[in-house]
Amino acid sequence: MLTQQCFLVRTFFGLLFCGLMARPAIADKPLKVFILVGQSNMEGHAKVETFDYIGDDPKTAPLLKKMRNAEGTPRICDGAWISYYTGRGEENGEGYGKLTAGYGSRPNPSEDGGKIGPEFTFGIMMDDAFEEPVLIIKTAWGGKSLFYDFRPPSVGIYPRTENDIEKDRRPESGSGHYYRLMLKHVKHVLSDIGRIVPDYDPQQAYEIAGFVWFQGFNDMVSRDVYPELPKDSKGNRFDKYSEWMAHFIRDVRKDLDAPKMPFVIGVMGVSGDAANEGNLEFRKAMAAPAALPEFKGNVMAVPTSPFWDEPLAAIQAKYEKVRQMAYLLRTENKNAANADGSMSKEQQRDYLRKYEAELVSPKEVALRARGASNAGYHYLGCAKTFALMGEAFAEAILEMRDQQTKINENESPTP
């Protein structure tokens, strides 16, 4: 009997010892921090109501399963948390908690906005990839440029143009304002991670494991900062964007003391393959820094044009025709039905209803309601598109991390 008791005691303490030895294996791995920054498409304008559309495609149906719990509600990640800093004007605020849907564009920064951006599937991918906790720090504001709002400090103060002075806009004091806001919030969160991740142990430490930049629209449409080049020119009018983007990467790495931090440039892809020449030139400029020798293996440009939803875009184009017709009627265009101005507002509305019914089928109306929730410049507010983008951004960072691990292993001295 005594021998059996001794055996049980030894077994108990043996298991206890193994358990104590096993726990530090995960605890010793630093918490992984990922920083997501940009303008309105990093905010994200895809309504949760468009999730079902993801399941209609056999290729993306498995991704939808990852995005939902068994009962069909949006997944709440057990191992991923988020701090999201956003706002309008000077009214900025923070929303935080376990990562789930609702951390897209928010009228009130602290309240669920019912939308997603790339952060949702990005975080799901990282939650699944790491045993240790994941923290996403996201800062995004609509309508912000790299040349002025996020201007990197090493470039210097933004030089105001004649148009800026004439229109009394872009004061020198605002140059780089959102770069500084972004950096301030990131450092604020990192100074007290336990506020966001309740079980975080400072002894565990953290690693800044990746940065995603998804921006561009306000730069792409600025002819003031990026003037048209002569027709015989072989250059890219957006070359300065490439230069400033490279400075941004260097500066943020320096300011965060993360010299080899994997960095993803999300390349604008609105309009997909149908993008005009100017859009294509801008995409080249966005992607260019990834080809610099100093960024080899630690900066990747991820195109988002492959995720543009062509069927929804074709329907959207028909609605654009309806809007154009409304404008022609309202302005009494000579080529429209109201050229003589005789149509009342009610008659114009009746005309447009019939025009739309002839142009857009009931099936197309239903498909648009199922998959789209915003305008073209917001990728139609399609959750399928934003989900695929977030997944691609995560895969790029994981790929760079794997490459760096292999390099480090090869450089390690042989014992």
Instruction: Give the domain ranges of the chain.
Output: 30-308+384-411, 310-371
pLDDT at residue 232, rounded to an integer: 86
CA distance 118 to 212: 10
pLDDT at residue 413, rounded to an integer: 64
Neighbours of 256 (CB within 10 A): 17
Burial of 366 by CB count in 10 Å (0-12 exposed, 13-18 middle, 19+ buried)? exposed
CA distance 237 to 230: 10
Burial of 15 by CB count in 10 Å (0-12 exposed, 13-18 middle, 19+ buried)? exposed
CA distance 36 to 385: 17
Considering only CA atoms, which of 69, 54, 63 is closest in space to residue 382? 54
Q: Which fold has domain 30-308+384-411?
A: Rossmann fold (3.40.50)
pLDDT at residue 24, rounded to an integer: 40
Please say whether the beta carbons of 103 and 138 come within 8 A.
Answer: yes
CA distance 128 to 79: 8
pLDDT at residue 412, rounded to an integer: 66
Alpha carbon distances (Å) from 298 to 44, 400, 404: 25, 6, 8
CA distance 253 to 35: 11
Integer distance in angstroms from the first to the last C-alpha of the chain? 50
pLDDT at residue 414, rounded to an integer: 58
The alpha carbon dihedral of 375, 377, 381, 382 has a sign of positive
pLDDT tens, per residue, the chain with 415 residues: 434 444 333 443 343 333 433 334 455 799 999 999 999 999 999 999 999 999 999 999 999 999 999 999 999 999 999 999 999 988 999 999 999 999 999 999 999 999 999 999 999 999 999 999 999 999 999 999 999 999 999 999 999 999 999 999 999 999 999 999 999 999 999 999 999 999 999 999 999 999 999 999 999 999 999 999 998 888 999 999 999 999 999 999 999 999 999 999 999 999 999 999 999 999 999 999 999 999 999 999 999 999 999 999 999 999 999 999 999 999 999 999 999 999 999 999 999 999 999 999 999 999 999 999 999 999 999 999 999 999 999 999 999 999 988 888 877 665 5
Token pair 């990839």: residue:
129
Radius of gyration, CA atoms only, the chain: 25
86 SS3 class: strand
Burial track 193-204 (b if 16+ CB lie within 10 A, e otherwise): beebbeebeeeb
DSSP 299-364: EEEEE-GGGS-HHHHHHHHHHHHHHHHHHHHHTT-TTSTTTTS---HHHHHHHHHHHHHHHS-HHH
Question: How remote is the C-alpha of 396 from its chain's centroid?
Answer: 13
pLDDT at residue 386, rounded to an integer: 99
pLDDT at residue 231, rounded to an integer: 87
pLDDT at residue 36, rounded to an integer: 99
Considering only CA atoms, which of 54, 67, 109 is closest in space to residue 84? 109
CA distance 53 to 260: 38
